RNA sequence: GCCGGAGUAGCUCAACCGGUAGAGCAGCCGCCUUGUAAGCGGCAGGCUAGGGGUUCGAGUCCCCUCUCCGGCUCCA
């Protein structure tokens, strides 16, 4: 047989040769480095027979697939160690994931495994790795495998095989054995355990079997593995650095916002954080007005009858707050749409009025489950940069495009590069298939016309319509939904919305629900992490700090402050009787963009010595000129140098 | 909500096997009058998250509640 190598040469091999044989034929070094092979785009074990005539690529530690392989190997070694240390443990699945791997177990009832147990498990794993146990694959009839796992009392494996047989008509399954442990596994794997050069178990967590909260909760052990100790160390180092830009930590350190046990999930904005909030609000308001939105403001508390009509009572009650007001049942709004609908309905509408765009920095309350609260990124008290567009069916696509343009305009100001998701019809939905066809194709065509890349998230749309979401990641790579553009044919129906057409007949408008920043809370949380607290000048809570060198310079310092403040700059004087070194250090720690040092020299010349955060001393400047340049930098919301993200 | 973990001064963390709760920073007071990342000295600061229990004795052991952290589910 013969195979073609990536350099274009051909390799002659005896019939039935394996990947390992091919590697050895090329060279001993490659044979030692080989982890697996790829043929026809599929990664396969070294021990698998090669396919005659197909191009062959040998996968080594240098290949992009190598990490995935050894992490999958490590997951098996983890299961090996765990089943050995805790007899009676039931195993389920253990895949490689971004940055590592996990394995889900059901431990015997009297056993709880916590993070304190990880070193012990790691030690057991290490001994299996040192033993360099080979991964051996066996293909056996599904029925035999089923029998085996029934006998071993491994119900999760049994269920997996049953499903494979039923859903995919599989008749043969593969088992992988390393040392004492055999797992149902599709593969591929590296040749033996010693190829896992460096690993670490990182955490323990609960995880529902098959991601279903009605089913058994298993214990998930997370870990990561690398091809060298240095790679592992630098990965851990990056994680450590990422923690330094956690918005919860920076929020406290910079005095932006705080939380209290007295109102879980609800941020308290401190003065410094409120300047950011207000700058963002100013931007939001100006841009909405410029784009034909009209701002409204609506109550937060409503008669439950409204929620019954909107469908929230039926679909969303669990997440709402209710109270009685003089024996009348009321509910806090979890969304603004029914409120904006009231304004729409206040007057008769003509097709000439459409589209009508209402914007509101709307305060909604959602009773998020206690376990999901997360700083500013998941709160119960949410201020959305909400808007509802009432338009005709023909206007939908253009309106959606305008929303996307608006969104990208905003995100570019901050240097954000959002990931897009298109979510389509869910199983449980209202409306006809024709309606869904039209709505989905309107969104899709809007995305296509903009030439935007997006992920298709089938079945994840709202029950009333499909949506496009804008996602951003936090400092450790978790994805959060910010903006959303949703098409809705249902609310107009429920509330009987109408407009009079050119034909003098009544027609039903379409609603677009749209938040672009998403919520001010979450957006600012992402903003803090994105900038690592080093805000661009226009957002910095204190834009300049004046540092008099000695007490005799305080008077001049105040004059400098007043002059800059007159140009609209947020400026303070550090009047403490501390050394300049100390004042500078404190200013740097607070990440203040400009520090203006002044002593005898500056005072006499009417100048200031300028120090830029991160850059240091940039020389002295004329005061009036400095005021002009700072004001200009603020006005143009200059794109800042974003600190490197460690991930 | 579920699983695992944590909660000690404003912050970051100590406190052996159950034996009088301690440090740095921040704060306050004083001295120093300072030239580009921490000047020096002193003082004050605690119902160890809250409640119950075991014990001669509990920050430490047990139970309940709350909050937070990491995941899972959820996120209209």
Condensed to tens digits (0 to 9), the pLDDT of residues A294-304 reads 999 999 999 99
Rounded Cα gap, residues A41 and A328, in angstroms: 65
pLDDT of residue A6: 83
Q: Are residues A571 and A600 in the same domain?
A: yes
Which residue is closest, via its CA, to the C1' of B38? A582
- pLDDT tens for each residue of A487-545: 998 899 999 999 999 999 999 999 999 999 999 999 999 999 999 999 999 999 999 99
Q: Are residues A122 and A173 in the same domain?
A: yes
CB atoms closer than 10 angstroms to residue A494: 16
Q: Is residue A239 part of a domain?
A: no
Q: Is the ipTM of this complex over 0.90?
A: yes
Q: Is residue A248 part of a domain?
A: no
Q: Is residue A80 part of a domain?
A: yes
pLDDT of residue A644: 66
pLDDT at A647 over 60: no
Distance A321 CA to B2 C1' (A): 22
- pLDDT tens for each residue of A74-130: 999 999 999 999 999 999 999 999 889 999 999 998 888 988 889 999 999 999 999
pLDDT of residue A15: 83
Q: Read off the pLDDT of each residue in A47-72 and give the average, rounded to a whole number.
A: 88
Alpha helices (H) in A381-452, listed in sequence order: 396-413, 433-449
pLDDT at A639 over 80: no
pLDDT of residue A255: 95
Q: How far is CA A428 from CA A79, A214, A425, in A?
A: 38, 18, 8
When divided into structural domains, chain A yields a total of 4
Last residue of a domain, one of A59, A76, A107: A59
Q: For strand A36-39 and strand A56-59, is the pairing parallel, antiparallel, or unpaired?
A: antiparallel
Q: How confident is the model at residue A645 (pLDDT cuts 50, 70, 90)?
A: low
Distance A344 CA to B69 C1' (A): 45
Q: Is residue A251 part of a domain?
A: no
Last residue of a domain, one of A531, A559, A586: A531
pLDDT at A428 over 80: no
Parent domain of A335: 257-531
Distance A114 CA to B63 C1' (A): 20
What CATH number has the domain bearing residue A36?
3.10.20.30
Q: Of A69-83, A368-382, A417-431, A584-598, where does mean pLDDT reach its minimum? A: A417-431
Residue A604's nearest nucleotide, by CA–C1', is: B35
Q: Are residues A561 and A421 in the same domain?
A: no
Q: Are residues A508 and A594 in the same domain?
A: no
Considering chain A, what percentage of its residues have pLDDT values greater than 70? 99
Which residue is closest, via its CA, to the C1' of B39? A579
What CATH number has the domain bearing residue A522?
3.30.930.10
Q: Chain B bases under 7 Å from protein CB?
A: 1-5, 11, 31-39, 66-76
Distance A252 CA to B9 C1' (A): 17
Residue A261's nearest nucleotide, by CA–C1', is: B67
Residue A206's nearest nucleotide, by CA–C1', is: B3
Q: How confident is the model at residue A16 (pLDDT cuts 50, 70, 90)?
A: confident
Distance A212 CA to B67 C1' (A): 27
Which residue is closest, via its CA, to the C1' of B11? A253
Q: Are residues A284 and A391 in the same domain?
A: yes
What CATH number has the domain bearing residue A72?
3.30.980.10
Q: Read off the pLDDT of each residue in A327-352 and give the average, rounded to a whole number.
A: 95
Q: Are residues A297 and A218 in the same domain?
A: no
Asked if omega into A355 is within 30° of 0 (cis), the reply is: yes
Q: Is residue A383 part of a domain?
A: yes
Distance A576 CA to B36 C1' (A): 16
| Residue corresponding to tokens 């107009």 | A492
Rounded Cα gap, residues A381 and A368, in angstroms: 10
- Full 3-state SS string of A542-573: CCEEEEECCHHHHHHHHHHHHHHHHCCCCEEE
Rounded Cα gap, residues A254 and A90, in angstroms: 47
3-state secondary structure of A214: coil
- pLDDT tens for each residue of A211-231: 999 999 999 999 999 999 999
- Say if residues A501 and A445 touch (Cβ distance below 8 Å): no
Report which of A276, A294, A272 is spatially closest to residue A285, judged by C-alpha positions.
A294
Report which of A301, A336, A644 is spatially closest to residue A486, judged by C-alpha positions.
A336
Q: Are residues A223 and A368 in the same domain?
A: no
Q: Read off the pLDDT of each residue in A286-290 and give the average, rounded to a whole number.
A: 96
Residue A213's nearest nucleotide, by CA–C1', is: B73
Task: Write down the mean pLDDT value for chain A.
Answer: 92
A566 contact partners, CB below 8 Å, separation of at least 6 = A627
Q: Are residues A133 and A261 in the same domain?
A: no
pLDDT of residue A641: 62
Rounded Cα gap, residues A418 and A15, in angstroms: 51
Residue A476's nearest nucleotide, by CA–C1', is: B70
Q: Is residue A281 part of a domain?
A: yes
Q: Are residues A499 and A585 in the same domain?
A: no
Q: Is residue A289 part of a domain?
A: yes
Which residue is closest, via its CA, to the C1' of B67? A261
Q: Are residues A211 and A131 in the same domain?
A: yes
Q: Are residues A55 and A73 in the same domain?
A: no
Q: Read off the pLDDT of each residue in A160-181 and give the average, rounded to a whole number.
A: 92
What CATH number has the domain bearing residue A585?
3.40.50.800
- pLDDT tens for each residue of A452-484: 999 998 888 887 889 999 999 999 899 999 999
Q: Read off the pLDDT of each residue in A592-613 and give the average, rounded to a whole number.
A: 95
CA dihedral A274, A275, A277, A283 (to 10 degrees): 160
3-state secondary structure of A536: coil
Distance A106 CA to B51 C1' (A): 34
Q: Is residue A275 part of a domain?
A: yes
Last residue of a domain, one of A499, A531, A563: A531
pLDDT of residue A391: 96
Q: Are residues A341 and A268 in the same domain?
A: yes
Which residue is closest, via its CA, to the C1' of B3? A206
Distance A253 CA to B53 C1' (A): 39
**Angular region, A359: left φ>0, alpha ψ -120 to 50, beta rest:** beta
Residue A617's nearest nucleotide, by CA–C1', is: B36
- Say if residues A334 and A320 touch (Cβ distance below 8 Å): yes
Q: Which residues of A have a catalytic role annotated? A: 337, 366, 384, 386, 388, 467, 513
pLDDT of residue A360: 97
């Amino acid at each position: 047989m013969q195979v073609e190598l990536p350099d274009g040469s051909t390799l002659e091999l005896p019939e039935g040769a394996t990947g390992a044989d091919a590697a050895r034929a090329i060279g001993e070094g490659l044979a030692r480095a080989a982890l697996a092979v790829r043929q026809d785009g599929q990664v396969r074990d070294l021990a698998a027979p090669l396919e005659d005539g197909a191009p062959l690529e040998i996968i080594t530690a240098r290949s992009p697939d190598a990490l995935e392989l050894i992490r999958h190997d490590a997951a098996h070694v983890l299961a090996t160690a765990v089943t050995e240390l805790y007899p009676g443990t039931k195993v389920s699945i253990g895949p490689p994931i971004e940055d590592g791997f996990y394995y889900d177990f059901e431990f015997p009832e009297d056993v709880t495994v916590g993070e304190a147990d990880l070193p012990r498990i790691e030690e057991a794993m290490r001994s299996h790795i040192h033993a360099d146990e080979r991964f051996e694959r066996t293909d056996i009839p599904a029925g035999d495998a089923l029998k085996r796992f029934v006998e071993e009392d491994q119900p999760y494996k049994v269920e997996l095989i049953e499903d494979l047989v039923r859903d995919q008509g599989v008749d043969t399954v593969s088992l992988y054995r390393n040392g004492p442990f055999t797992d149902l596994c599709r593969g591929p794997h590296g040749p033996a355990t010693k190829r896992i050069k460096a690993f670490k178990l990182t955490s323990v967590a609960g995880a529902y079997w098959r991601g279903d909260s009605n089913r058994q909760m298993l214990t998930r052990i997370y870990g990561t593995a690398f091809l060298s100790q240095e790679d592992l160390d630098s990965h851990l180092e990056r994680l450590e650095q990422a923690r330094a830009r956690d918005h919860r930590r920076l929020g406290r350190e910079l005095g932006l916002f705080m939380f209290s046990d007295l109102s879980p999930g609800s941020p308290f904005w401190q003065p410094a954080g409120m300047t950011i909030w207000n700058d963002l609000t100013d931007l939001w308001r100006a841009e909405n007005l410029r784009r034909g939105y009209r701002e409204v403001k609506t109550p937060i508390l409503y008669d439950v009858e409204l929620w019954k009509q909107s469908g929230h009572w039926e679909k969303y009650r669990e997440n709402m707050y209710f109270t009685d007001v003089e024996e009348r049942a009321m509910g806090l709004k979890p969304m603004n749409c029914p409120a904006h609908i009231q304004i729409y309905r206040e007057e008769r509408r003509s097709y000439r009025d459409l589209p009508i765009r209402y914007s509101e920095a709307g305060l909604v309350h959602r009773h998020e489950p206690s376990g999901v609260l997360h700083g500013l990124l998941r709160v119960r008290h949410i201020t959305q940069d909400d808007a509802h567009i009432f338009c005709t069916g023909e206007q939908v696509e253009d309106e959606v495009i305008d929303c996307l343009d608006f969104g990208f305009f905003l995100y570019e100001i901050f240097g954000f590069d959002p990931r897009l998701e298109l979510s389509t019809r869910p199983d449980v939905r209202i409306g006809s298939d024709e309606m869904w066809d039209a709505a989905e194709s309107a969104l899709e065509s809007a995305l296509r016309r903009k030439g935007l890349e997006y992920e298709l998230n089938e079945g994840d749309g709202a029950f009333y319509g499909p949506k496009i979401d804008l996602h951003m990641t936090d400092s450790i790579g978790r994805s959060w939904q910010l903006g959303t553009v949703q098409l809705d044919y249902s609310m107009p129906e429920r509330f009987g919305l109408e407009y009079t057409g050119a034909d003098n007949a009544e027609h039903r408008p379409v609603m677009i629900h749209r938040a672009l920043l998403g919520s001010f809370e979450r957006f600012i949380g992402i903003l803090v992490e994105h900038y690592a607290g080093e805000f661009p000048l226009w957002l910095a809570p204190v834009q300049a700090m004046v540092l008099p060198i000695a007490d005799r310079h305080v008077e001049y310092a105040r004059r400098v402050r007043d002059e800059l403040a007159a140009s609209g700059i947020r400026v303070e004087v550090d009047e403490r009787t501390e050394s300049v070194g100390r004042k500078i250090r404190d200013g740097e720690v607070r990440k203040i963009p400009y520090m203006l040092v002044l002593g005898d020299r500056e005072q006499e010349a009417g100048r200031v010595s300028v120090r830029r955060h991160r850059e240091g001393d940039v020389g002295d400047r004329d005061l009036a000129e400095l005021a002009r340049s700072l004001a200009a930098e603020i006005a143009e919301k200059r794109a800042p140098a974003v600190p490197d993200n460690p991930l």
